Amino acid sequence: MRENRGGKYHSLVYARPCSVHVDPIEKKPFYHVLLGKTALSLGLPGCNLQCKFCQNWEISQVRPEQVRTFAATAESIVALAKEQGSPTVACTYSEPTVWAEYVFDLAAAARKAGLRALMVSNGFIQPEPMADLIGVLGAVKVDLKAFSETFYRDTCRGKLAPVLDTLRLLRKKNMWTEIVVLVIPGLNDHEAEIRALARFVKTDLGPDVPVHFTRFYPSYRLQNVPATPVKTLTRIRDIARGEGLDFVYVGNVPGHPGNNTVCPGCGKVVIRRVDMAVVKLDLKAGACAHCGRAIPGIWS
């Protein structure tokens, strides 16, 4: 996505998205950010990982000239979001880290226009550019692929430790962050690994960071692995909650009780969802309508 032109490091994809779409914000997924609203979502070619399960490999694992893109300034994307009634702009689909300069300009333009910019990332980024982005972003979702260096090396060609550092940095800077773990049967669903992941979130980030465990379906180079059994996701949710996490979700299973937000104070459902749709809301001014406990998030 970059080349050396006469000694200058040059981005080949700056301001050239290949995918633009209006999505529900819950699809990113953010479950504690502007419920029921939409995100003007865009992606550019490229990624810094090579996950064998990538669902967007047609744009993430190619060279820029292999994808059809179009020119779009940050300001034009923000104008489009306003036209579509989306209060957020989401950098997603591939990996925004490889087009970080555009993410920064988009986020700055969104902020200037009164919108929030969201980054959906694998978290495999150096602390300096992440710190710059934190200054302009509105919320970040990080895909934590597994809690094992072996998995990162063999399945994603990456490293776990820098991702954990990114999560710690986001928390330290008070950036609203949600975590997604795609649960792949036999590869990252072992009880000890899930317990270690939950303990890391609780102790290094805080029990109130939402963690979404989502269902895997065969894709890209993992066609030979079956879809995640729902009972595995239910078990993992129970483990993570048992380790003391307050907001543990099950994704890609519409109608599962893990789609709902449960108040950690009284145990009642405050946000009832069917997959990406909010169907009942017992949240008043950011607090549980039953017991008054504050539910963390960006609600307005």
Binding mask 146-165 for ligand SF4 (x = CB under 6 A): ----------x---------
Residue 243 sits in the site that holds ligand SF4 (CB under 6 A)? no
Task: Please identify which residue in 19, 92, 122, 214 interacts with ligand SF4, judged by CB under 6 A.
Answer: 122
Q: Which is nearer to ligand SF4, 42 or 109 (CB)?
A: 42
Does 252 sit near ligand SF4 (CB under 6 A)?
no
Q: In the complex with ligand SF4, which residue's Cβ is closer, 98 or 236? A: 98
For residues 295 and 27, give the distance between their C-alpha atoms in angstroms, rounded to a whole number. 20
For the chain, the distance separating the N- and C-terminal CA atoms, rounded to the nearest angstrom, is 36
Select from 49, 91, 209, 270 the one that contacts ligand SF4 (CB under 6 A): 49
Query: String of b and e for 68-96 (b: at least 16 CB within 10 Å)?
Result: ebeebebeebbebbbeeebbbbbbbbbbb
11 touching ligand SF4, by CB under 6 A: no
Residues touching ligand SF4, count (CB under 6 A): 11
Q: Report which of 135, 155, 137, 133 is spatially closest to residue 146, judged by C-alpha positions.
A: 155
Q: Does 219 bind ligand SF4 (CB under 6 A)?
A: no
Residue 82 contacts residue 38 (beta carbons within 8 Å): no
Q: Is residue 47 at the binding interface for ligand SF4, with CB under 6 A as the rule?
A: yes
* C-alpha span between 290 and 276 (Å, rounded): 23
The answer to whether 134 and 173 are in contact (CB under 8 A) is yes
The binder of ligand SF4 chosen from 54, 142, 179, 183 (CB under 6 A): 54
Write the interaction track for ligand SF4 spanning residues 81-120; mark x where CB under 6 A is met and - where it is not.
-------------xx-------------------------
Sequence-separated (6 or more) residues with CB below 8 Å from residue 232 = 183, 185, 189
> What residues have CB less than 8 Å from 194, skipping those under 6 apart?
147, 236, 239, 240
Contact set with ligand SF4 (CB under 6 A): 47, 49-51, 54, 56, 60, 94-95, 122, 156
